[in-house]
Amino acid sequence: MTPAESSPAARALDEAVRLLQNGDLVAFPTETVYGLGAAARDPLAVRRIFAAKGRPADHPLIVHLPDATALDAWGVTEGTAAVALADRFWPGPLTLVLRRRPGVPDEVTGGLDTVGLRVPAHPVAQALLRAFGDGIAAPSANRFGRVSPTLARHVREELGPDVFVLDGGPCAVGVESTIVDLSGPTPTLLRPGGLPVEALEAILGPLPPGGTRAPGTLPGHYSPRTSLLLSSDADAAAARLVGKGLRVEILRGTDEADHARRLYAELRRMDELGVDVLVAELAEERGLGRAINDRLRRAAWPHTDEAPLVDGHDPSER
Ligand code: TXA
Ligand code: MG
């Protein structure tokens, strides 16, 4: 097809590939959240990601791959369950941390001797990766410390109008990928996410939490103006706060998948609406519920030394 015949989506994809080849950044949808991508083999391009996000440069990035055949070019799979997990769960919301191959830039790994790898399932991400033909390093496309974007509009709100965004609509999963570390003697869980931990444990056996430093595992990963109250009885908590004259909303999902999909967009919307307190119901601590609760607890953590807001603490006194 000539450019004149091609669709707007095809032209946007061509432009995105050109930008990546040029060392520039492209925001793109994945099934979990939107990512801010750069050519993973181009150290200068990768540095631009940290500048755009305001993120410390020693935090490692996930390399997104077109398919599992690219795995061995980036990480050491021998002696690990990487190929079995990739066969079973890719494309999908799973990141594998492996010992890295020589030639993976330090800018990507934050100087670690390991690298995080994932094949995303979103059709736009897949089309981009196939057209580009190599790894794309991408963190979530938010400014450092904020919640991840699940709509193209969120990316522009976070990073400004100049960032090139491929619009793939709302993200279907809504929370980031599950990260499993296969670089040590036994597999560990670095982050619960879009792939239920139980599915991994069915193959790997019990997955203890890993000790690797990771920014997504710091408390306080969201800085809303709206206070977030975690409650097991949201209606009662909300009634109590409304009685004090506060503007209150409740966040709960009809099921875990729905809860996860709406979580970050709802946190953003509460700030826009000027809500004083969002009362969120914790999910059951299994499946996607583990990722939902993990993100809720981080978002409820105040950026002071106070205890997180949970039932019993009164946000009007904060
Ligand atoms: O779903 C996702 O994973 C999204 C989409 C865009 O793919 N990406 C994402 O990236 O959440 P980011 O940078 O926001 O979070 C990646 C997490 C960080 O906590 C980082 O520390 C960890 O992955 N990570 C990456 N490489 C690592 C490594 N070699 N060792 C340990 N942790 C690593
Ligand atoms: Mg992130």
Q: What pLDDT is attached to residue 253? A: 83
Query: Does 200 share its domain with 297?
Result: no
Q: What pLDDT is attached to residue 306? A: 37
Q: Is residue 214 part of a domain?
A: no
Q: Within 13 A of 97's CA, how many CA atoms are on the CB side?
A: 26
- 281 C-beta closer than 6 A to ligand 1: no
- Closest-approaching ligand to the CA atom of 117: 1
Per the prediction, the chain carries an average pLDDT of 90
- 95 C-beta closer than 6 A to ligand 1: yes
Query: Does 111 share its domain with 144?
Result: yes
Q: What pLDDT is attached to residue 55? A: 84
Distance 235 CA to ligand 2 centre (A): 31
C-alpha to C-alpha distances, 11 to 6, 86, 117, 163, 270, nearest whole angstrom = 6, 31, 28, 16, 35
User: Look-up: residue for tokens 């296969």?
Assistant: 182
Tokens of 168: 């793939």
Q: What is the mean pLDDT of each run of 10 residues along the chain (318 residues)?
A: 76 98 98 98 97 89 97 97 98 98 95 97 98 98 92 96 97 98 96 97 96 53 75 90 94 91 93 90 93 90 46 44
The DSSP element (H or E) to which 83 belongs, if any, is helix 82-89
Query: Does 193 share its domain with 59?
Result: yes
Which pTM does this prediction carry? 0.93
Residue 246 sits in a domain whose CATH number is 3.40.50.11030
Q: What pLDDT is attached to residue 79? A: 96
C-alpha to C-alpha distances, 213 to 58, 59, 75, 180, 217, nearest whole angstrom = 10, 9, 19, 13, 7
- How many domains are contained in the chain? 2
Q: What pLDDT is attached to residue 145? A: 83
Residue 96 sits in a domain whose CATH number is 3.90.870.10
CA distance 279 to 238: 6
Query: Does 182 share its domain with 33?
Result: yes
Domain boundary among 204, 235, 262: 204
Whether the CB-CB separation of 190 and 217 falls below 8 Å is answered with yes
Q: Is residue 7 part of a domain?
A: yes
CA distance 215 to 101: 23
Query: Does 85 share its domain with 175?
Result: yes
Domain coverage including residue 160: 3-204
CA distance 121 to 110: 25
Of the candidates 48, 9, 44, 56, the one whose C-alpha atom is nearest the C-alpha of residue 25 is 48
Q: What pLDDT is attached to residue 117? A: 98
Q: Is residue 243 part of a domain?
A: yes
Query: Does 110 share its domain with 181?
Result: yes
Query: Does 33 share its domain with 115?
Result: yes
Q: What ligand 1 atom has the least distance to the C-alpha of 64? A: 7
